[in-house]
Chain A
Amino acid sequence: MFKKLIQESMGKSPWLFHINAGSCNGCDIELVSVLTPRYDAERLGFKLAGSPRHADIVVVTGPVTKQSLPRVLRAISQVPEPRCIVTMGSCPQSGNVFRGSYSVAGPLSKYVHVDVDVAGCAPKPEAVIDGLALATQILKEKRGQMK
């Protein structure tokens, strides 16, 4: 019973940790707007956590520059299992307008398994919420696969 309870809870209380991997700040602002009264993602249990140790979902924005790559990977590795990685905006998926730049190491999926991609430059808040909701479902599944 407890296992089921925990698995259910896993889908209802996803805490976010936001990593800026060289973003232009457009997506960052959109992510914050998701938590504002208008969209209020907290009604789904979303909360911004201060430390990766507390997080369930890592939201990465920006094209993953060479400077930020080791830091992003380190922070992601410090998130306890089960965890989901969500890329937000087109940059971490493809590099967007920064593609081919000498300083860009992305896309992120070259280095870690990315669970959800939310495309757009910047994605609409509705899209972000949709992507995060999808991530919570994946989180729940991952929890189910754990012992």
Chain B
Amino acid sequence: MSPVINALSYQHFPIYAIMVLFLGAFLIAVFGRNRTARNVLALLSITASLAFILALIRPVMLGGEIIAYWLGGRVPAGGYAIGIALEVDALSLFFALIVAVAVFVSGVYSIQYMRHDDNEREYYTLFLMLAGGVMGLVLSGDLFNMFIMVEVLTFAAVALTAFRNTATGALEAAFKYLVVGCIGSTCILVGTAMLYAQAHTLNLAQLAQLLPGNLNTATKVAFALLFVGFGTKAFIVPFHPLAADAHGAAPASISVMISGVLTKSGIYGIIRLTYFLFQTMNLGTMQFLLVFVGSLSMFICVTMALAQHDFKRLLAFHSISQIGYVLTAVGLCTALGVSAGLYHAMNHTLFKGLLFLAAGAVLHETGTTDLGKLGGLSKKMPHTTVLFLIGAFSISGIPPFNGFASKWMVYQATYQKAVESGNIGFLLVTIIALVTSVLTLASFVKVSQSVFFGQLPKELEHVKEVSFGMRLAMGIFALLCILTGLFPGLVTSYITEPAARAVFSVAQYISAMGFDASGVAAESVVSFAHVGVWEPISWLLILCIALLAITIVAVASKYDNVSQRSGEAVDTKYELFYGGEAQEFSQVGGGDLFWGFKHNWRGYFDFMYRLHSGVVNDYALWAVVDLALVMLFSLIVL
């Protein structure tokens, strides 16, 4: 085979997908003075990365192949991995796919969104570094490489959080994120070192071969360190305040990256850690840990989000709430649960990306994201409103959008688990998940009333619809939200189920790298059977017929023959009813819209407000306490 053709073989695509991003970052740093060159380079590298990842779907997702790639051809010698390896199974590819899509859309959006900022060259360099870091993390087959990528992405994310450093809180958020992120990274490093001391290898597959069954105190401590380390990357409780700060302060395109991509890398790390390296997920207590942390994240963050006054900060808390769903479902250790969790992870990237971009569009046009200062934008920005509503319905799980499809699977999985294990705790998880969903809906009703509906403040009269490029980026996400919601069968059978199956085939993962997997149980029988039924296409069809019938009747009976104000003439008939008074500006909205709810929970909200003090020492303390607890847990349980 000639070298050229060899180089085009899909075996090399993973490293290409990572390298084009880093190469793009480098080239932009060098040649990025010209705006056109910069945009072209950025678009080229993200498109190429997306293309490489898409090309891998066929062999890896559908063909079930596991790509083991040794950099420089340094294959293991004497049974020990000595080179750096990439290993791409369906799970890695699944996360890489999420990353590539989110990076692509975010990049497209950035071109218009960041146009008015200076230092655009640095922005794109860091943006591509962040993308490359996450891509490298999920495709890596090597624990130390994962650490390096974690550092790269943390570094880039911190720098990007502080990018608009004149904005309120950007620097503060970046600093807090840096401190706790570095505690997390140090945890990962120490954990890696301790695993290396015990197993003398850094290769994930070989660790997975050696570790289970040979646990001692050092490896148990290493487990806790790695768990907490990846937990900081996923921003699960107790690291959620940092997510809120960082997402809220960063430019919207970076919020998409942090919430859609960075948190996923943490989830990926936790899955690799628990399912592969230590293979402890069959322990009930281990499932308890993940489900407990997940449910806690789910509930605390949704209630925190309800109390927020800032659009992006609210979205940030929701982000972690949805990550809680993912972690809970993954922690069930059932095929349906893992599949549901991964599905939700994917959907979360799509709808949360859409929502952050919509928030960015609002910020771009109005200059604020304070819910108390906005209102009535639906008349000025109709397309953004529609796109936002699609995202809001998706995240709140309104059928037929994608959030419903995956949440519905999560409920099925948790309740099934509860019934199968006879453990009433999982029942509580189901209830928390369902209640969280309606609270999510409530806070998005708050946002839509406070930002897009209601009355338009005087200061926002000049607002225009955002440019086509930004709407295009949002449109891609919205389209994907609808498609993945309408065809859950296709998505699960071609994307999430291969990935979920990969989670349960540790033996293949080990043997693909050329190690002996005889000590590991072969792939267990994986069943994705559901209990419930949900056919979105048929439902939509019926709804359309019904809607059509109603509309025909309505139009025939002159429903749309309405009287509306013509011209600018003031006619009291078309004023709003104010009990007879002249119409004046009065917008009902803002953070405290649901006082009826908050009143009953005031003790809880006061407590939470005091807890999220904003002092970096407190957050560091949480991290340390969390580390201590997980360490204690793993020493007792493992």
Assess A/B contact in the complex (Cβ within 8 A): yes
CA distance A99 to B581 in the complex (A): 25
Closest chain A residue, CB of each to CB of B557: A2
Residues of A within 8 A of B571 (CB): 77
A51, B573: Cβ atoms under 8 Å? no
A73 to chain B minimum Cβ distance, whole angstroms, is: 7
Residues of B within 8 A of A75 (CB): 577, 579-580
B588 to chain A minimum Cβ distance, whole angstroms, is: 16
CA distance A85 to B212 in the complex (A): 85
Residues of B within 8 A of A78 (CB): 572-573, 575, 577
A53, B577: Cβ atoms under 8 Å? yes
Provide the B516-558 mask, 1 if CB < 8 A to any CB of A, else 0: 0000000000000000000000000000000000000000010
Among B571, B575, B579, B580, chain A packs the most CB atoms within 10 A around the CB of B580
Majority SS at the chain B contact face: loop
B582 within 8 A of A: yes
A71, B573: Cβ atoms under 8 Å? no
Residues of A within 8 A of B572 (CB): 73-74, 77-78
CA distance A53 to B562 in the complex (A): 13
Q: Considering the complex, which residues of chain B in the window 576-617 have a beta carbon less than 8 Å from any beta carbon of chain A?
A: 577, 579-582
A89 within 8 A of B: no
Provide the B326-367 mask, 1 if CB < 8 A to any CB of A, else 0: 000000000000000000000000000000000000000000
Majority SS at the chain A contact face: helix
A77, B573: Cβ atoms under 8 Å? yes
Residues of B within 8 A of A51 (CB): 577
A74, B580: Cβ atoms under 8 Å? yes
A114 within 8 A of B: no
A74-B582 CB under 8 A given contacts A51-B577, A52-B577, A53-B577: yes
The size bracket of the interface on A is 10 to 19
A72 within 8 A of B: yes
B366 to chain A minimum Cβ distance, whole angstroms, is: 31
A105 within 8 A of B: no
Q: Considering the complex, which residues of chain B in the window 281-332 have a beta carbon less than 8 Å from any beta carbon of chain A?
A: none
Provide the A37-78 mask, 1 if CB < 8 A to any CB of B, else 0: 000000000000001110000000000000010111111011
Residues of A within 8 A of B581 (CB): 71, 74
Closest chain B residue, CB of each to CB of A79: B573
A31 within 8 A of B: no
A135 within 8 A of B: no
Residues of A within 8 A of B577 (CB): 51-53, 75, 78
A44 to chain B minimum Cβ distance, whole angstroms, is: 26
CA distance A72 to B579 in the complex (A): 9
CA distance A71 to B581 in the complex (A): 6
Residues of A within 8 A of B573 (CB): 77-78
B557, A19: Cβ atoms under 8 Å? no
Residues of A within 8 A of B582 (CB): 70, 74
Provide the A1-38 mask, 1 if CB < 8 A to any CB of B, else 0: 01000000000000000010000000000000000000
Residues of B within 8 A of A73 (CB): 572
Residues of A within 8 A of B580 (CB): 19, 68, 71-72, 74-75
Residues of B within 8 A of A19 (CB): 580
A92 to chain B minimum Cβ distance, whole angstroms, is: 15
Residues of A within 8 A of B575 (CB): 74, 78
Provide the B164-203 mask, 1 if CB < 8 A to any CB of A, else 0: 0000000000000000000000000000000000000000
CA distance A70 to B580 in the complex (A): 8
Among B557, B571, B572, chain A packs the most CB atoms within 10 A around the CB of B572
CA distance A43 to B557 in the complex (A): 28
Residues of A within 8 A of B557 (CB): 2
CA distance A1 to B634 in the complex (A): 78
CA distance A53 to B574 in the complex (A): 10
A74 to chain B minimum Cβ distance, whole angstroms, is: 5
Interface of B toward A, CB cutoff 8 Å: 557, 571-573, 575, 577, 579-582
Can you identify 6 A-B contacts, CB atoms within 8 angstroms?
A70-B582, A74-B581, A75-B579, A75-B580, A77-B571, A78-B572
- 7 A-B pairs with least C-beta separation: A71-B580, A75-B580, A74-B572, A77-B572, A77-B573, A74-B580, A51-B577
